[in-house]
């Protein structure tokens, strides 16, 4: 009788080094997955912020003999959100709240639904001996076409002459008893419609420091409160007699 021989199962010994390689490969894949997830959330947040920040950390920026203290969420450009010396500091804030970017203010800063209530402000060294109000009598008054057109809240709009260099703009002027007039230059026509802040005015603050601010023409009807709010806000931010050499320079 023939015997049936049952084949014994074969067992292969797996190289331990191969198992380690497989383990490390899976571990690396898991780690990569976590990194991708976290990076996706970070980049998604950055994209959603659109260059804004809700960080309210106070920064101190030195311009000349002035220290400007402003929260990061009011500083317009990311690279400027640090302490140090600068030639210019650009800010933005809501009017009339005079506050910086936040989740609650997101729609205003992103111009959602046509909102135009953001003020754009810039501090820099004073380049002219007079601010815009002081330049009206010696400069602007010789460059405008009279008579002007009445506007809101006592404002008169003047066109500029062809040789003035300000074509496409109008001058908004309002008398202030006992003081130089309120003066702002505003874009006109299609350019004004396309701009979020077609009007601009500058005032002198601090120690030889100029503050220019741009705003919606809709605020001209509230120019007294607007100008007072800007000047008051600047006064809270600016300290004079700084020591620039003690501060690290901005890159």
Identify the residue with better confidence: 34 or 236: 236
pLDDT at 44 over 70: no
Tell me the three state secondary structure of residue 61.
Answer: strand
pTM value > 0.75: yes
DSSP state at residue 117: -
pLDDT in tens, 169-194: 999 999 999 999 999 999 998 989 99
Q: Can you say whether residue 110 is alpha, beta or left, with left for phi > 0 and alpha for psi between -120 and 50 degrees? A: alpha
pLDDT per residue over 207-241, tens digit each?
A: 999 999 999 999 999 999 999 999 999 999 999 87
Rounded CA-CA distance 98/184 in Å is 20
Rounded alpha-carbon distances, angstroms, from residue 57 to 67, 71, 72, 75? 16, 5, 6, 11
CA atoms of 151 and 171, how far apart (whole Å): 11
User: 93-146: per-residue pLDDT in tens?
Assistant: 999 999 999 999 999 999 988 889 999 999 999 999 999 999 999 999 999 999
Helical segments of 50-179, H only: 106-109
């Amino acid at each position: 009788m023939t015997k049936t021989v049952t084949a014994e199962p074969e067992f292969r010994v797996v190289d331990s080094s191969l198992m380690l390689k497989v383990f490390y490969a899976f571990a690396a894949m898991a780690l990569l997955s976590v990194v991708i997830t976290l990076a996706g959330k970070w980049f998604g947040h950055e994209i959603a912020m659109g260059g804004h920040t809700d960080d309210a950390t106070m920064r101190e920026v030195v311009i000349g003999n002035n220290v400007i203290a402003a929260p990061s969420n009011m500083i317009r450009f990311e690279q400027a959100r640090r302490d140090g010396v600068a030639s210019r500091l650009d800010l933005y804030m809501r009017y009339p709240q005079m506050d910086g970017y936040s989740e609650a203010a997101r729609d205003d800063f992103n111009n959602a639904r046509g909102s135009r209530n953001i003020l754009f402000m810039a501090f820099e060294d004073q380049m002219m001996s007079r601010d815009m109000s002081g330049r009206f009598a010696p400069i602007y008054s010789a460059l405008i076409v009279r008579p002007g057109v009445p506007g809101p809240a006592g404002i008169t709009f003047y066109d500029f002459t062809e040789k003035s260099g300000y074509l496409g703009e109008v001058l908004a002027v309002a008398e202030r008893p006992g003081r130089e007039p309120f003066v702002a230059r505003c874009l006109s026509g299609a350019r004004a419609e396309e701009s979020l802040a077609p009007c601009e005015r500058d005032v002198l603050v601090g120690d030889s420091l100029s503050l220019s601010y741009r705003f919606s023409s809709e605020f001209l009807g509230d120019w007294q409160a607007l100008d007072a709010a800007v000047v008051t806000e600047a006064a809270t931010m600016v300290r004079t007699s700084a020591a620039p050499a003690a501060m690290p320079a901005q890159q």
